[in-house]
């Protein structure tokens, strides 16, 4: 069929001829009517033609969405790997300090851990710093309404006695404290009992009784809040005050 017989092309092919003037079977092949319609195409030679729609676009969008999900999953794994060394560093930072072996004036040695009462007390007794000076026990606390020394604190008493025996001219005062529960009078009495318990334990370990005295501050000068159990436990403490060295 000559190209001159094509009028325009859109969803169908439109001819300039009538169906009656076409040879038999041509109308159906050319797409006249509804039968035999062909997909629209862009034909520069025919005015008014429309481009074929992009049937691949949905598949391209789906592929891009899957790629974005893959990148997000990969980023999540990278962040988790990056956080792990930080946790390891934190655990390392909280490791206990190494114990130091310190030689005492009497020729004996004692193992001391830095940042403890016994470590600071030994350095103070070996120095020329003036008296008096108070030292708070780091782990010599008492149970509620009790003046009994806990088994886990026996090592602190033993080490303190070793240090005091090496400095025979040192005199000290043991001061007992309580939390804020109870009356002021009962707390003062309880603080005295706690100081006497520590003093008796030191004497039992070989420290001359005449070098020691006991006192009480009751619920005074709390080091922590009495509104929490943890704070109350810290306030049930004992101090050692060097009066002379």
Per-residue pLDDT of the chain (245 residues; tens, 9 = 90+): 565 555 555 555 666 656 556 555 554 444 444 444 444 544 454 455 555 555 566 777 777 877 777 766 555 443 333 333 333 333 344 455 689 999 999 999 999 999 999 999 999 999 999 999 999 998 899 999 999 999 999 999 999 999 999 999 999 999 999 999 999 999 999 999 999 999 999 999 999 999 999 999 999 999 999 999 999 999 999 999 999 99
Q: Is 31:37 a contact under the CB 8 Å cutoff?
A: yes
Contacts with 181 (C-beta within 8 Å, 6 or more apart), sequence order: 144, 226, 232
Residues in the chain: 245
Instruction: State the Cα torsion 38-43-47-52 to the nearest 10°.
Output: 60
Q: Provide the whole-model pTM.
A: 0.60
C-alpha of 134 from chain center: 34
Classify 15 as helix, strand or coil: strand
Backbone angles phi, psi at 30, to 5 degrees: -80, -15
Contacts with 148 (C-beta within 8 Å, 6 or more apart), sequence order: 142, 197
Contacts with 204 (C-beta within 8 Å, 6 or more apart), sequence order: none
Copy the structure tokens of residue 233.
């436990």
């Amino acid at each position: 069929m000559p190209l001159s017989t094509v009028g325009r092309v859109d969803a169908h092919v439109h001819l300039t001829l009538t169906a009656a003037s076409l040879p038999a079977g041509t109308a159906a092949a050319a797409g006249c009517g509804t039968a035999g319609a062909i997909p629209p195409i862009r034909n520069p030679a025919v005015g008014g033609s429309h481009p074929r729609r992009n049937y691949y676009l949905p598949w391209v969008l789906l592929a891009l969405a899957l790629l974005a999900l893959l990148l997000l999953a990969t980023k999540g794994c990278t962040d988790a790997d990056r956080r792990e060394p930080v946790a390891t560093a934190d655990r390392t930072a909280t490791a206990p300090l190494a114990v130091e072996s310190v030689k005492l004036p009497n020729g004996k040695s004692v193992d001391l851990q830095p940042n403890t009462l016994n470590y600071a007390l030994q350095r103070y007794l070996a120095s020329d710093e003036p008296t008096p000076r108070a030292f708070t026990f780091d782990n010599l606390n008492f149970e509620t309404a009790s003046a009994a020394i806990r088994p886990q604190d026996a090592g602190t008493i033993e080490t303190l006695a070793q240090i005091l025996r090496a400095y025979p001219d040192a005199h000290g005062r043991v001061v007992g404290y309580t939390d804020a529960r109870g009356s002021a009078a009962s707390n003062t009495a309880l603080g005295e009992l706690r100081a006497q318990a520590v003093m008796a334990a030191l004497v039992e370990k070989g420290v001359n009784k005449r070098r020691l005295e006991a006192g009480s501050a009751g619920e005074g000068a709390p080091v922590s809040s009495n509104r929490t159990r943890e704070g109350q436990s810290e306030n049930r403490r004992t101090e050692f005050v060097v009066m002379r060295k």
